[in-house]
Structure 1
Amino acid sequence: MRRPLYRCLPIAMMTPALAAPVIAHAQEQATPGDIVVTASKLGADPEADAGSIQTLDAGTLAATGITRPSDLSKLVPGFTYTRSSYGNPVFTLRGIGFYDNSLTAPPAVSLYVDEAPLSYPALASGAMLDLERVEIAKGPQGTLFGQNGTGGAINFVTAKPTTALASGMDASIDNFGAVRGEGFISGPLSDTLGLRVAARYEGGGDWQRSDTRDATRGGADFLAGRVIAQWSPSSRATLLLNVNFWRDRSDSAAGQLLAIRTNSPALPPTLFTHPLGLRGNRAADWTPGMPFKKHGDFQQIVLRGTYELGMATITSISSWQHLKRDDAMDADGTDLELFDVRTPGKVSILAQELRASGSAGAVHWLVGGNYQHERTRDGLDIRFAQSSYPFDGVDQQGRQTMESWALFANTDVALSHSLTIEAGLRYTDEDRSFSGCTHDDGDGTGAAYLSRIASALTGSRVSIPAGACATLSAQFLPAEVHGAFTDRNWAWRGGLQWTPREGLMGYATVSRGRKSGAFPTLAATSARQFAPARPESVVAYEAGLKIASRDGLLHLAAAGFYYDYRDKQLRGKTIDPGIGAIGALVNVPKSHVWGGEIELRATPARGFSLTGGASYTRSRIDGPFVNYDGLGRLKNLAGERFPLSPTWHLVGEAEYRWAAGRGREAYVAVNSSFQSPSNADLGDIPVLRIAPYAVVDARAGMTFARGWTAELFVRNLTDQRYASFISTAAPDVIVRFPGRPRSFGLRLAHRL
């Protein structure tokens, strides 16, 4: 007989697992992430459908210490993460991403929680809490659910309420003093209603050390929570309410001064004696006395309903999400005020999706539509009083409104016992509007500078007040900039799947994807800098093979792909006649990407498991394409790779488990990932080269009876020195943002 959750709560709360500051999943036996192939998500066996998806279960995520979306690069070949100059995350699949500093930069890789959209990467900080699995789909998406996209999609599938009482915790501490605690409690409130509550807290762990004084930073202060209620009033109907939140007060990562770009006499002499170059991952610097911290609060509510009508299943997904942030960071890697940044912003999004799916003999089908409305504010407040710029700071303020709706359909038909054909179609209608201006930051220096420029260009006196809008229009007068565009487009997909026998499957697909256009958030002295990037489109060709041995001890998946791009969006530069190269969004008229992936999972001996994955990606700008490189020099960029697109990405893990008596099991494991060189910007500039690096993690532990696990872990075992990004955003310096140094610690987990 099931015991209602509310009757068990007083007892459960007294257990050690739930007495911790926060509670979390205990480790289940880790199993490798499988690359499975699925075309339709229509309820068929995912091992037997066509299209490349990698799934990672909760045990794998817990065992490898993956708590943020950025950590997925340890396990997913072809997936890479970059932090932008101002801290916004950028996710890339198979070399396809969209690097921009803006909070509201529409991503090439779409993100979801239970198929409800997380429209921008900055909203996903708490998405990894209490999951059942993560699904990573590669290539253009949009004919099945959600948003249109060119690079792929990541769906975070949450753990749902259980039919019996369950709870767990997972806590760790490392040598820097970083603590993490996570946990859940789940069970029935009645025969038809279940509840699941989960939370995670991360705190402490200063891992960065100042170059010029006795100071540290880099600690976390992050809290995330989720409440899920599931109501099943009948065998046909289910209603799921998912309430998520996170709060982030962590330190912003500081940069490391890599090189000095200018030799202006206006620069402080101490800049030229500041330590330069690669000095280990802990070295960094920042302006003393400034609170460079994140300050973000996010809430999301998702209401998902399903109803079985016999031959069809109706699914409705309604969601609301809201983010308010005011992050601050030092983006110049020194103790001077060369480029200190605040990024205030606000995002409010409403989304609704309705779809129906079903089967009729050899035909599986899906039809649906969605609607989304966004209102956003994105700001950029920069102080550079000690730089070579002729004024001391700017305050950019921008607003956007986006409204879109789409209709989509997908079907697959079994032509014979071994041959299946698939087709999908999507129509999207999107309207996006922008208004914004870069203001003088209040001290009057920027207003005075642009007043002189405007007066010289117009031939008459122009006076801009302190703190006022200072962006110059086409008539060289200060004015707020307004822009809008409408994009109506078709996306489609076709595929063929061949399964000659059990355990052997081949497929081929061709698809067209589309990514939304984008307005930038940047310090703009000229209205032309706010020109949007046009929408990008891609036609993608892919063929793959999947083999599984009859005994289940060997799985092999391989795929090759070719992407033909039009108007690929990149972060580039334009030239301001007074201050030189400044940021802008650009479109590459024609480009392409090709490559392949392979994944192997094997159990060569009892208790011994091996997984490995490799992704090879070659991108190329097809010429001619004349634009500015990362240092503001005009050149023909034809033949170059996309920035932040490594050719090779390798991942692998080896684990051995053995019985240790009395219900105990011991284990040791090593996980590694490798990225080949890439460049942080256009122009293939040596100083902006991100060197190749390999990161190795190791763990050893034991599971005990009654659900306990104890583990020792090491992250970055070899203390590899590597950069997550190299930035040219500051006017006078080039800044390297280092990866984390070696850390080691203890992890305890328990599950009831």
Structure 2
Amino acid sequence: MKKYILASSVSLLTISLCTVANAQSGTRNEQQATRVDEVIVTAQRREQASQDVGVSLSVIGGEQLDEKGISVVNDLENAVPNMEVDSQFGGGQPQFRIRGIGAREYSSNNASTVGIYVDEVAHPYTVTTQGALFDIARMEVLRGPQGTLYGRNTTGGAVNIITNAPTADFRAGFNAEYGTFDRYKVEGYVSGQIAPNLLGRLAAVTEQGGAWQYHRDTGEKLGDLDKSAIRGRLTWDASETVTVDLAATYSIDKSDGRGFRLLGPYTVANGSVTYPKDTAWRITGWGISPQLAAKAGVSTNAKPFRDNDGFDINARVRADLGWADLTSITAYQTFSRKEFNDWDSTRFHESNVLFYNDIDVFAQELRLSSNGDGPFNWMVGAHYADESIDGGFYTEFRGNPNLIDTAYDQSVSAFGIFTHNTYQVNERLNLIVGLRWETEERTLRSGGTYVAPNPPPPAVTYDTDLSEVSGRLGLEYKVTDDALFYASLARGVKSGGFTTYNATSATPFKPEIVIAYEAGLKSDLFDRRLRLNGALFYYDYKDQQVQGLEYDRDNGRLGKITNVPKSHIMGGEIELTWVPMDGLMISQNIGYKTGEYDEYFAIDGPKTDAANPVDGPWDVIITNDRSGERLAFPKMNYGGAISYDWEMSGWELRAETNYNYRDELYSVSSASIIEPFWLWNSNFSVSPAGANWRAGLWVRNMFNTYYEETRNGFNSSSRPTTSPSQGRTYGVRLSMDF
């Protein structure tokens, strides 16, 4: 803790010295912050100042992404209170949790509890969100159930990614950075008018290098990035009342996978080698068997890898009908996943997995909204989605020399209608009513898990459906012209689905339902030099989806997603932004949450194993009462940033430090505690006054903090492995605009 206090002192001392220098120079940078910016968001499908939106909302501008070290959506957890994003077991399957609501699984076929949207288009499968973030205008994170405004229904919240739109005047620019382990990133764009009434924008990015881990037996490096993406956008004013936006994005990711570390001594299955506990931070190990390499189409010296690519295309049409605005969004997405992970962290083949998936999603949304100046504002909409996800994974586990295959084909058809309405009772009070009805059918065909060289068993068809009503009641009250109180009652629903890993049965789990109570305050004080926002919430949870167990009479213990009948979560967030003097900005945020199972009789695996013959059949099932047990998520996270802009001797300078603390996390897979951690980043940049370029230095994980993302107990919780995060890196950055 002492070093973090010292870091804060150094940051404040640096700012003080810069303040003196600025006073002596007698000049002031026109870009200096003089008060907290008014941020325009589209969280409620129309442009509003963020302080006028009666929901718990965090906004991160595109220019802040590099400063905060946000290069993929996973990094949002270091900038948003009460949010965690983990790549499950070091792989490319992220799981989002907001206010404790979220799943932990590594298969790709189930819907996310948090909706991810890029320019209003839903990404229902989170594995498709792992491309580089580039050419971003802002990111909006909404906490709480969503469904009356967005294409899909979610219980946790929504992440809206808004990309930069084409510009009427010609613009171009690039950002380039180079850092530790020969990692580099180059991003560029060009934008302007192509023809009368037609604007265009083309942006691209590539990230390469950065291998920071090494094989304990051979010294071979692991961790190189190899990802690129390109996006084109067109805006066509078809008439005075109709605008058409077209966008297409192609991304490819051939990066190395994440290596694991041994948390304790590990003896391989044949007893020939015992590895000691890993003590070096960057050490790891891997190996791929000839049969798995053949399935992957790679050589037998292949590293853990990703071989993913995706293509998205969408058209947004907006028409002014005079009495209302009509919006149509048509989108198609295709994504291919091939990913090899080595979870035993040795050259032996005792916990290896090869994922393979093909995802196709078509979606159509229509919205009609009022455009008048009266007290009543309304919006009605409909959303249809047709999805298919085919694939599965091959695995190799301890002591079994044969490949284990789990293959499936899944199709989803979903349709929902929704409405969101506000009524201005008077100058200070708004009432809000939102409602949604949704129907969904999910079908999965799978023969379950089988071991080669046995032939695959006959496929069985499993079905689950949903027909649910959700909605929101709320009020917004202007306590003063600069303070908004809001309260809401919402019902959110997340789809059910299928457990597709290591199972002989894919019987579905049920949808989960959240009744959310929330109250909050948004305020701007002291001529908008201080912004203070806060919220409190209570979630009444029904059929929460969690990792659990079931027993098959003939095959024994199986991992499975199950439902907890009743549980609850409560907590809150505070976000503060303060401009105590021109150019100096201090932001702080804190999130706290706690929860427990209220009604949950779960299978007791050890007792059930002991009560049955070693080789089965498994007829005796023993459960234990887990009601009152704490839910497994970090209770608290705390973050903030301090930045200062000043001008001296004809140069514009900026110094910035940001930091985040995450509380301890219980790892279900390894039955152990992942320790809490602090993460600090710093940036310094300089440019000639009025110049079109800027150069800078950056440091990420400034204090070289060791921290873990997830743990893996597949070879038993007594021999867990862990996916460590990268240590301190540093580098240079150059930005230029034309």
Match of 2:629 in 1: 640
Question: Would you say the 8 A contact 2:36–2:579 is kept in 1?
Answer: no
The one of 721, 726, 748 aligned to 2:711:
726
Following TM superposition, by how much is the alpha carbon of 1:260 offset from its aligned partner in structure 2, in angstroms?
Answer: 6.2
Question: Would you say the 8 A contact 1:388–1:731 is kept in 2?
Answer: no
After TM superposition, the structure 1 = structure 2 runs for residues 577-726 of structure 1, keeping only pairs within 5 Å, are 581-628=557-604, 635-643=624-632, 645-662=633-650, 664-681=651-668, 688-704=672-688, 705-726=690-711
1:381 alignment partner AA: Y
2:704 alignment partner AA: D
Match of 1:455 in 2: none
In 2, Cα distance between the equivalents of 1:207 and 1:34?
A: 40
Deviates more, 1:162-171 or 1:618-627: 618-627
Distance 1:120 1:130, change over 3 A: same
Following TM superposition, by how much is the alpha carbon of 1:56 offset from its aligned partner in structure 2, in angstroms?
Answer: 1.2
Residue deviations 1:415-463 (CA, integer Å, cap 9, x gap): 1111111000000000000011245454x3xxxxxxxxxxxxxxxxxxx
Distance 1:427 1:285, change over 3 A: same
1:96 aligned counterpart, secondary structure:
coil
1:622 aligned counterpart, secondary structure:
strand
Question: Would you say the 8 A contact 2:40–2:49 is kept in 1?
Answer: no
After TM superposition, the structure 1 = structure 2 runs for residues 25-424 of structure 1, keeping only pairs within 5 Å, are 40-85=44-89, 86-126=91-131, 128-259=133-264, 267-271=269-273, 273-276=274-277, 279-287=279-287, 289-360=301-372, 361-384=374-397, 387-389=398-400, 392-424=402-434
Distance 1:182 1:630, change over 3 A: farther
Distance 1:628 1:681, change over 3 A: farther
1:677 alignment partner AA: E
Question: Would you say the 8 A contact 1:573–1:630 is kept in 2?
Answer: no
Distance 1:579 1:697, change over 3 A: farther
In 1, Cα distance between the equivalents of 2:222 and 2:132?
A: 25
1:479 alignment partner AA: P
Following TM superposition, by how much is the alpha carbon of 1:32 offset from its aligned partner in structure 2, in angstroms?
Answer: 8.5
Question: Would you say the 8 A contact 2:144–2:155 is kept in 1?
Answer: yes
Following TM superposition, by how much is the alpha carbon of 1:335 offset from its aligned partner in structure 2, in angstroms?
Answer: 2.1
Gaps of 5+ in 2: 1-30, 289-300, 610-622
The one of 498, 503, 523 aligned to 2:482:
503
2:121 alignment partner AA: A
* TM-score, length basis structure 1: 0.86
Is 1:481 paired with 2:481?
Answer: no
Match of 1:434 in 2: 444
Following TM superposition, by how much is the alpha carbon of 1:638 offset from its aligned partner in structure 2, in angstroms?
Answer: 2.1
Following TM superposition, by how much is the alpha carbon of 1:405 offset from its aligned partner in structure 2, in angstroms?
Answer: 0.4
RMSD: 2.4
In 2, Cα distance between the equivalents of 1:206 and 1:101?
A: 24
Deviates more, 1:329-338 or 1:195-204: 329-338
2:334 alignment partner AA: H
1:294 alignment partner AA: R
In 2, Cα distance between the equivalents of 1:195 and 1:543?
A: 42
In 2, Cα distance between the equivalents of 1:236 and 1:435?
A: 47
Match of 2:291 in 1: none
1:122 aligned counterpart, secondary structure:
helix
Question: Would you say the 8 A contact 1:32–1:611 is kept in 2?
Answer: no
In 1, Cα distance between the equivalents of 2:530 and 2:524?
A: 6
Question: Would you say the 8 A contact 1:316–1:352 is kept in 2?
Answer: yes
Question: Would you say the 8 A contact 1:531–1:585 is kept in 2?
Answer: no
Residue deviations 1:588-638 (CA, integer Å, cap 9, x gap): 110111001000000112211100100001121113432357999864322
Question: Would you say the 8 A contact 1:36–1:52 is kept in 2?
Answer: no
Distance 1:298 1:33, change over 3 A: farther
1:672 alignment partner AA: Y
In 2, Cα distance between the equivalents of 1:309 and 1:127?
A: 38
Residue deviations 1:19-41 (CA, integer Å, cap 9, x gap): xxxxxxxxx98998989998843
Question: Would you say the 8 A contact 2:41–2:48 is kept in 1?
Answer: no
* TM-score, length basis structure 2: 0.88
In 2, Cα distance between the equivalents of 1:420 and 1:608?
A: 35
In 2, Cα distance between the equivalents of 1:204 and 1:102?
A: 27
Following TM superposition, by how much is the alpha carbon of 1:665 offset from its aligned partner in structure 2, in angstroms?
Answer: 1.0
Residue deviations 1:195-215 (CA, integer Å, cap 9, x gap): 100011011111112233312
* % same residue: 29
Following TM superposition, by how much is the alpha carbon of 1:192 offset from its aligned partner in structure 2, in angstroms?
Answer: 0.3
Count of matched residue positions in the alignment of Structure 1 and Structure 2: 678
Question: Would you say the 8 A contact 2:41–2:47 is kept in 1?
Answer: no
In 2, Cα distance between the equivalents of 1:670 and 1:631?
A: 51
The one of 718, 730, 742 aligned to 2:728:
742
In 2, Cα distance between the equivalents of 1:33 and 1:689?
A: 40
In 2, Cα distance between the equivalents of 1:720 and 1:342?
A: 31
In 2, Cα distance between the equivalents of 1:58 and 1:39?
A: 16
Following TM superposition, by how much is the alpha carbon of 1:145 offset from its aligned partner in structure 2, in angstroms?
Answer: 2.3
Deviates more, 1:44-53 or 1:232-241: 44-53
Question: Would you say the 8 A contact 1:114–1:158 is kept in 2?
Answer: yes
Distance 1:511 1:417, change over 3 A: same
Gaps of 5+ in 1: 1-27, 445-465, 470-477
Question: Would you say the 8 A contact 1:515–1:535 is kept in 2?
Answer: yes
Question: Would you say the 8 A contact 2:711–2:720 is kept in 1?
Answer: yes
In 1, Cα distance between the equivalents of 2:532 and 2:166?
A: 34
Question: Would you say the 8 A contact 2:548–2:602 is kept in 1?
Answer: no
Question: Would you say the 8 A contact 2:564–2:600 is kept in 1?
Answer: no
Question: Would you say the 8 A contact 2:265–2:275 is kept in 1?
Answer: no
Residue deviations 1:332-386 (CA, integer Å, cap 9, x gap): 12221111110000000100000011145101110010100001113111123xx
